[in-house]
Chain A
Amino acid sequence: MWQAIKNFYHRMGTPREFYRIAGYWIPIFGVCFAVLFIVGAYLGLVVAPADYQQGDSFRIIYVHVPAAWMSLFVYVVMAFAGAIGLIWRMKMAFIVMITSASIGATFTFIALATGSLWGKPTWGTWWQWEARLTSELVLLFLYIGIMVLYSAFTERKTAEKAAAILCIVGVINIPIIHYSVEWWNSLHQGSTVIREGGPAMPASMLTPLLLMALSFQFFYGWLLFIKARTQALTQEQGSSWVKQIIESKQVK
């Protein structure tokens, strides 16, 4: 078992093997994303009943919450990848870290913007400087900071290390975001899904949320593999396997 994990780890760590394995999964992830998104959107926008307090405005939850979850998830993946890259000097780990940054930043932006659009009709304000919103905004700045730091160095190895260190230090913000609604008296509502006593939502409302969350996961996996493959090709341009792949592609 341990050996199998080790083998898998080493194979995924080499750009060439990563390219091949990721190429196998990309269409599968893409289809899963598309199907789950369409079904989730249909159930969320059409089938689910309106909320007894918030009316139809609650349907923003189906994009807001999955995006917010992903903004945290992607960050944790990046921090792990950064740590693996620093400890074992694994090329692919750094590639996963740095190609995730723009995806995570976009999820964070979606969470903030849709939250604002939800806040206006329910709280009467677009924005409030309170714990949950502020810590999520800090997350956006962390993502941007990582991208800027990475591109600031001409030497790639230095850039990777610097970005990884910033990423790992920034992990402190993740539990702060998660517990912000409990630790501080917050305008933001508490967790409705991950809480003691189970989700506080009927199945007709919860199912589309979980489907949308799963579809966002597949979206991340799909796009990460596409982007990481491009990055692997870019970094390994000198080697013969890359030349073979690129030469087989026609340029339009």
Chain B
Amino acid sequence: MNDFNFSEFIAMGGYAKYVWSSWALTIIAMASLVVSAIRKRKILYRQYHQQTQQSAARKQRLARQQSKS
């Protein structure tokens, strides 16, 4: 590893565009899977909390109506 040369490493013996685009594409595709998984979990939490809030508000409204009448 003594003769490590950064610009040579980037050049990939003339195959830079093929090698780096392959690796970049792989990493981006895998990362997008992770992002979508996290987003799905967040949507689930948000929807759940919205639903419980709505049903709580509905109950309050009903209780108010009943106390009026």
Whole-angstrom distance between the alpha carbons of A46 and B14 in the complex? 15
- Please give me the 8 A-B residue pairs with the lowest Cβ-Cβ distance, nearest first: A56-B13, A57-B15, A63-B26, A56-B12, A114-B22, A55-B13, A60-B22, A117-B22
In the complex, the answer to whether A233 meets B18 with C-beta atoms within 8 Å is no
The listed residue (B18, B37, B45) touching A120 by CB distance below 8 A is B18
Whole-angstrom distance between the alpha carbons of A118 and B36 in the complex? 28
In the complex, the answer to whether A223 meets B37 with C-beta atoms within 8 Å is yes
A171 CB, nearest partner CB in chain B, Å: 23
The listed residue (A57, A102, A110, A247) touching B18 by CB distance below 8 A is A57
Whole-angstrom distance between the alpha carbons of A226 and B1 in the complex? 39
At the interface, yes or no: A36 with Cβ under 8 Å from chain B?
no
Number of residue pairs across A and B with beta carbons under 8 Å? 87
Interface members, chain A 105-126 (any B CB < 8 Å): 106, 109-110, 113-114, 117-118, 120-121
Task: Determine the interface band of chain B, counting residues with CB < 8 A from chain A.
Answer: 20 to 34
Q: Dominant SS at the B interface? A: helix
| Cβ contacts B23-65/A at 8 Å (1 or 0 each) | 1011001101110111011101110110010000000000000
- Can you list 27 A-B pairs with a CB-CB distance of less than 8 A? A45-B9, A45-B23, A46-B9, A56-B14, A56-B19, A57-B13, A57-B19, A59-B15, A59-B19, A60-B18, A63-B22, A63-B26, A102-B33, A102-B36, A103-B33, A110-B26, A117-B25, A118-B18, A219-B30, A226-B38, A230-B37, A230-B44, A237-B48, A246-B49, A249-B45, A251-B46, A251-B49
A113-B25, A246-B45 are contacts. A223–B33 as well, Cβ < 8 Å? yes
B29 CB, nearest partner CB in chain A, Å: 5
Number of interface residues of A (CB under 8 A): 37
- A233 CB contacts on chain B under 8 angstroms: 44
At the interface, yes or no: B21 with Cβ under 8 Å from chain A?
yes
In the complex, the answer to whether A227 meets B22 with C-beta atoms within 8 Å is no
In the complex, the answer to whether A227 meets B40 with C-beta atoms within 8 Å is yes
A56-B19, A113-B25 are contacts. A46–B4 as well, Cβ < 8 Å? yes
B1 CB, nearest partner CB in chain A, Å: 7
In the complex, the answer to whether B21 meets A67 with C-beta atoms within 8 Å is no
Complex: chain A residue closest to B41, CB-CB? A230
